[in-house]
């Protein structure tokens, strides 16, 4: 029963996001069709049989909700779909096919464009509101990693990538992902703390090769492949549980663990990892309390978790990374939101291209189950996370609809582009064959997406 509220929230979050994106997409088609003088017969949210409708406006457009909740459509006056023999000449002038090819192109393109505009609006609002994100301070645990060999060190604050200033770890990851797809090296600008952490030195620049990253690496946690992640706080105990191994050994709240068995600790995360792997094994600690340095031994208790013995010393620590509040003025936020939308769109097109060439696995195609799961997760995390999710899905919807598949907007744009080049529309026979091929291709993509969704659930 405890999972029911979570499932309900997931379904509601997914339903709201999907409904919003469909409505925005179809409103793009509707608004531009009206501006171009085309008569709109129906605006439907959902597909299939109409379960509710109401006619509004001078044209008595039918605003409808249909039974299948995936998708929607705008039905215009179109000689290919309706018998127009009884219409007046004035109404016939408003038929879609009688419009110039450029008007038809604009009407069809308006749906994806509306999705991109929604993403820009959401990103702009988030940047104005302010987004709390981890700072671009890195954790480098291994001296054998590519990051370490390039000159990066634990605790470095990354301030630029290829000359472009960054503030947050997500910006760092995004820029390295773009460069990794291009197999381009990254010039990493850093500020490094003095040995006593009293100040930051002048900026240094290090060359981080990305050519060694495979496309498969980029599909996973590629920063871990390079050898770094977001930095974590030092191993300072925020609380010590009564009668636990740590308290019995003499540890107190606010103690800082400096070393374990003679090895200096990077941070609290490393302390957790070592303790978890040391059930019933005595550990020798070097700790600091105020200005006093002292030593002690502690033996983690064994606790079974998923059939595995895990060590526990019963302490609490702050492991969340250092955060920064990123805020922008409205003009700056609009520029950043537009750039974010553009960069994400281009990256999506590149990933799709690499899927076609086999450089990127088809496992990256996600379906409604995975999208619904992400909708639920982000809605439970925060409103900012949920709105960011909607913006990214809106971009994906816009990109997918621009693909040159006949049943999608991109397929119609391809037809009209050929009409511009040849001076005549494509033949009905060609259009019929292409439509069938497009339906088959779309069904195949949906099958792959559902297969990937089910595989993720099972794993």
Domain assignment of residue 312, yes or no: no
Residue 147 pLDDT: 92
One domain for residues 338 and 432: yes
Average pLDDT over residues 432-442: 85
One domain for residues 251 and 367: no
pLDDT tens-digit readout, 142-164: 889 999 999 999 989 999 999 99
Per-residue confidence at 1, pLDDT binned at 50, 70, 90?
very low
Evaluate if residue 275 carries a pLDDT over 80. yes
Domain assignment of residue 324, yes or no: no
Residue 148 pLDDT: 93
What does the block give as tokens for 19?
């409904």
Average pLDDT over residues 281-286: 95
Q: Cα separation of 213 and 225, whole Å?
A: 8
One domain for residues 70 and 177: no
One domain for residues 24 and 122: yes
Domain assignment of residue 322, yes or no: no
Evaluate if residue 198 carries a pLDDT over 80. no
What does the block give as tokens for 223?
């920063």
Mean pLDDT of all residues belonging to the chain? 89
Domain CATH for 208: 2.30.42.10
One domain for residues 377 and 435: yes
One domain for residues 25 and 149: no
**Strands (DSSP E) along 135-246, which ranges?**
138-139, 157-161, 164-165, 186-191, 204-208, 229-230, 237-240
Residue 139 pLDDT: 93
pTM for the complete prediction?
A: 0.83
One domain for residues 190 and 142: yes
pLDDT tens-digit readout, 358-394: 777 777 788 888 888 888 899 988 899 999 999 999 9
Instruction: Identify the residue with better confidence: 353 or 313.
Output: 313
Residue 112 pLDDT: 95
One domain for residues 243 and 264: yes
What does the block give as tokens for 124?
């702009």
Mark whether 81 is an active-site residue.
no
Number of domains in the chain: 4
Range of the domain at 294: 237-307
One domain for residues 153 and 193: yes
Given 198, 230, 262, which residue is the final one in a domain? 230
Given 180, 204, 230, which residue is the final one in a domain? 230
Phi, psi torsion values for 205, nearest 5 degrees: -125, 130
Evaluate if residue 262 carries a pLDDT over 90. yes
Domain assignment of residue 320, yes or no: no
Residue 160 pLDDT: 93
Per-residue confidence at 74, pLDDT binned at 50, 70, 90?
very high
One domain for residues 163 and 193: yes
One domain for residues 344 and 429: yes
Domain assignment of residue 315, yes or no: no
Domain assignment of residue 318, yes or no: no
pLDDT tens-digit readout, 110-137: 999 999 999 999 999 999 998 888 999 9
pLDDT tens-digit readout, 11-39: 899 989 999 999 999 999 999 999 999 99
Instruction: Identify the residue with better confidence: 245 or 450.
Output: 245
Shortest CA distance to 398 belongs to which of 16, 21, 13? 21
Domain assignment of residue 321, yes or no: no
User: What percent of the chain shows pLDDT beyond 70?
Assistant: 97
pLDDT tens-digit readout, 295-348: 999 999 998 888 889 999 999 999 999 999 888 999 999 999 999 999 999 988
One domain for residues 45 and 15: no
Given 98, 115, 146, which residue is the final one in a domain? 98
Residue 195 pLDDT: 54
Per-residue confidence at 447, pLDDT binned at 50, 70, 90?
confident
Domain assignment of residue 313, yes or no: no
Contacts of 71 (CB under 8 A, 6+ apart): 22, 46, 47
């Amino acid at each position: 029963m405890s999972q029911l509220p979570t499932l309900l929230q997931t379904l509601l979050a997914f339903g709201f996001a999907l409904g919003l994106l469909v409505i925005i997409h179809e409103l793009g088609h509707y608004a531009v069709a009206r501006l171009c003088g085309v008569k709109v017969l129906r605006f439907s949210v959902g597909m299939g049989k109409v379960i509710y409708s109401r006619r509004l406006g001078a044209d008595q457009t039918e605003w409808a909700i249909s039974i299948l909740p995936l998708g929607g459509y705008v039905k215009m006056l179109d000689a290919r779909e309706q018998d127009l023999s009884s219409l007046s000449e004035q109404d016939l002038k408003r038929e879609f096919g009688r419009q110039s090819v450029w008007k038809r192109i604009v009407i069809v393109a308006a749906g994806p464009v509306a999705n991109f505009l929604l993403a820009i609006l959401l990103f702009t609002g988030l940047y104005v509101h302010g987004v709390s994100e981890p700072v671009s301070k890195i954790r480098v645990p291994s001296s054998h990693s590519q990051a370490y060999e390039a000159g990066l060190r634990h605790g470095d604050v990354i301030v630029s990538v290829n000359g472009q200033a960054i503030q947050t770890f997500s910006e760092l990851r995004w820029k390295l992902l773009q460069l990794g797809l291009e197999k381009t090296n990254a010039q990493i600008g850093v500020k490094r703390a003095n040995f006593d952490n009293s100040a930051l030195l002048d900026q240094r620049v290090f060359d981080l090769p990305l050519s060694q990253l495979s496309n498969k690496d980029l599909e996973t946690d590629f920063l871990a492949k390079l050898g770094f992640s977001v930095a974590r706080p030092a191993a300072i105990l925020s609380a010590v549980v009564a009668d636990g191994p740590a308290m019995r050994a003499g540890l107190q709240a606010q103690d800082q663990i400096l070393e374990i068995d003679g090895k200096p600790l990077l941070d609290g995360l490393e302390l957790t990892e070592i303790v978890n792997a040391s059930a019933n094994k005595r550990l020798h600690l070097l700790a600091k309390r105020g200005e006093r340095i002292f030593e002690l031994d502690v033996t983690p208790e064994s606790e079974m978790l998923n059939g595995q013995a895990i060590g526990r010393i019963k302490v609490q620590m702050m492991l969340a990374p250092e955060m920064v509040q990123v805020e922008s003025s409205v003009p700056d936020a609009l520029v950043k939101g537009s750039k974010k939308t553009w960069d994400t769109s281009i990256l999506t097109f590149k990933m799709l291209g690499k899927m076609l060439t086999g450089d990127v696995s088809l496992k990256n195609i996600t379906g409604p189950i995975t999208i619904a799961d992400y909708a639920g997760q982000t809605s439970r995390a925060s409103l900012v996370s949920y709105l960011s999710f909607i913006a990214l899905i809106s971009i994906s919807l816009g990109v997918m609809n621009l693909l040159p598949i006949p049943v999608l907007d991109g397929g119609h744009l391809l037809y009209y582009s050929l009409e511009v080049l040849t001076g005549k529309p494509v033949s009905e026979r060609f259009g019929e064959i292409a439509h069938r091929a497009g339906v088959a291709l779309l069904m195949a993509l949906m099958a792959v997406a559902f297969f990937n969704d089910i595989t993720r659930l099972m794993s």
